[in-house]
Amino acid sequence: MSMNPFDLQAPIAGIKKIILVGSGKGGVGKSTVAANLALAMKQSGQKVGLLDADIHGPSIPRMFGALYQKPSFVKSETGKARMQPLVRHGLFLMSIGFIVEESQAVIWRGPMLFKALDQFLHDVDWGELDYLVVDLPPGTGDVALTMAQRVPVAGAVIVCTPQNLALVDARKAVDMFQQVHVPILGVIENMSYLTLPGTNGSPSQRVQLFPRGELNSFLDQSKIPKLGEIAFDPHIGLSSEAGIPIVASEPDGAISQQFSDIAENVIRATTTE
Ligand code: ADP
């Protein structure tokens, strides 16, 4: 009898729900969204961990001002050394970037990659978490497939920008998650529009930085919800560069409100009454 790869699936003790954050391609703001979404979920009272599994460019260490940090190991009662996540703004963080140099992780392939992912899931002292948010590499590669096969995933969130050029790739991500039976919670449209400084931000004063394409009609047809829109805002980039994501640095700002609404949508979509 041939073995089904999903037979290897095992829950992680202490972690209630795993959310994957993916994108069709790089540069759409997936890591930025993953980090700020995790923070917004934390602010709404959940216990949240953020796992940076983006082997092509782990950006969580930089975004949280934790470059060159090394996780410590603590021996458990069984004598096994377990990695301690870093804690920033009440969020539990682990990144491939804490283990290897920023430029090194990309060479991970096959068994090495699987072993590393297994360690991140099972040898990290995550404690009790309501949610583990996983920042996947862009595209439809091994990491997403491995996650889907190894652990029960509550759902995937796909980050996309408004234009049709980006939609082509987002659809591939949708297909991939459907093929591995990961429920798609919805799409977050990032860099939806630009609000000019000095204007009141009303829709008529917005600048369409990227042309709006057929994303909305694709989502309607596929019955995939849009979880929310995030404006293009230079403060988002500045905050990330400074090592404090915008939801932590400007918690009362308009962008944080957008993330907070999305966090509520994600929590609702993964909660069965
Ligand atoms: P990805 O993970 O998809 O490759 P990143 O999250 O690294 O993308 O974002 C790419 C760049 O775009 C970063 O410099 C980030 O600060 C910036 N960025 C992401 N989203 C926004 C936004 N809504 N407004 C302004 N800059 C953004």
Averaged in consecutive runs of 10 residues, what is the pLDDT profile of the chain (273 residues)?
71 95 94 98 98 87 90 83 93 90 65 84 94 94 89 97 93 95 97 85 85 94 97 95 97 96 98 83
Candidate of 32, 62, 249, 256 to mutate for ligand 1, largest count of ligand atoms within 8 Å of Cβ:
32
Q: What is the pLDDT of residue 116?
A: 84
**Ligand 1 contact, 240 CB (< 6 A):** yes
Q: Whose CA is nearest to atom 24 of ligand 1?
A: 232
Ligand 1 atom closest to the Cα of residue 192 is 23
258 lines ligand 1 (CB under 6 A): no
DSSP 41-60: HHHTT--EEEEE--TT---H
Residues 126, 85: contact at Cβ < 8 Å?
Answer: yes
CA distance 20 to 41: 14
- Which atom of ligand 1 lies nearest, measured to the CA of 191? 23
Q: How far apart are CA 257 and CA 249, in angstroms?
A: 13
Q: Over 170-234, what HEC string results?
A: HHHHHHHHHHCCCCEEEEEEEEEEEECCCCCCCHHHEECCCCCCCHHHHHHHHCCCEEEEEEECH
249 alpha carbon – ligand 1 mean position (Å): 16
Q: CA torsion, points 217, 222, 228, 229, in degrees to nearest 10?
A: -40
The ligand 1 atom nearest the CA atom of 25: 3
Pocket lining: 52 vs ligand 1, CB cutoff 6 Å:
no
Q: Whose CA is closest to 255, among 234, 226, 227, 225? A: 234
Q: How far apart are CA 124 and CA 95, in angstroms?
A: 11
Q: 124 has which bridge partners? A: 83
Q: Which atom of ligand 1 is nearest to the CA of 159?
A: 3
Hey, whose CA ends up nearest to atom 15 of ligand 1? 237
Write the DSSP assignment of 86-152 as a string of letters: EEETTEEEEEHHHHS-TTTGGG--HHHHHHHHHHHHHSB---SEEEEEEEPPSSS-HHHHHHHHHS-
Whether the CA torsion 120, 71, 98, 251 is positive or negative: it is positive
Q: Give pLDDT, residue 28.
A: 96
Looking at residue 105, its pLDDT comes to 57
pLDDT at 179: 94
When the candidates are 3.40.50.300, 3.40.50.360, 3.30.10.20, 2.60.40.10, the CATH number that belongs to 20-269 is: 3.40.50.300
Is the CB–ligand 1 distance for residue 230 below 6 Å?
A: yes
Query: Which pLDDT value is given to residue 61?
Result: 93
